[in-house]
């Protein structure tokens, strides 16, 4: 049962344009969401997060939006740069005693110069 879904395996965007990566979840108990970026042969790098009590969080070029009623979140990257090309993972936590993260399957972003 895939509780966190990233339905787009890949996305291609021109440099300078906006990249929008989407994530859907099914478990209404999730109360914290995170985005990670991963290059080949490296570990995931934390990018940005959002608590379920908020609907937006911004950090530089990265903004995460949360729509709790739709159980949907998105990551916006503006402007996109070639160095942003990587796999992006959405993850969720139920904030319980363990804080284990449930990951989506990832979206490969390619930013074309």
Partner 1 sequence: NAGVMQNPRHLVRRRGQEARLRCSPMKGHSHVYWYRQLPEEGLKFMVYLQKENIIDESGMPKERFSAEFPKEGPSILRIQQVVRGDSAAYFCASSPPYWASYEQYFGPGTRLTVT
Characterize the bridge pairing of strands 107-112 and 56-59: unpaired
| Tokens standing for residue 34 | 């995170």
Q: Which residues in this chain contact partner 1 in the complex, by CB under 8 A? A: 4, 6, 32, 34, 36, 41-46, 49, 89, 91, 93, 95, 97-106
Least Å distance, CB 100 to partner 1, is 4
Least Å distance, CB 22 to partner 1, is 15
Least Å distance, CB 98 to partner 1, is 4
Which residues are CB-contacts of 70 (< 8 A; sequence separation ≥ 6)? 24
Cα–Cα distance measured from residue 29 to residue 9, given in angstroms and rounded to the nearest whole number: 26
């Amino acid at each position: 049962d895939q509780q966190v879904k990233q339905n787009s395996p890949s996305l291609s965007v021109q440099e300078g344009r906006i990249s929008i990566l989407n994530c859907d979840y099914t478990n209404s108990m999730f109360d914290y969401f995170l985005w990670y970026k991963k290059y080949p042969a490296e570990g995931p790098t934390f990018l940005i997060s959002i608590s379920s009590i908020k609907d937006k969080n911004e950090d530089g070029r990265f903004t995460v939006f949360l729509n709790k009623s739709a159980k949907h979140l998105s990551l916006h990257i503006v402007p996109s740069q070639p160095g942003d090309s990587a796999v992006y993972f959405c993850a969720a936590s139920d904030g319980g005693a363990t804080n284990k993260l449930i990951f989506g399957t990832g979206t490969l972003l390619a930013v074309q110069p």
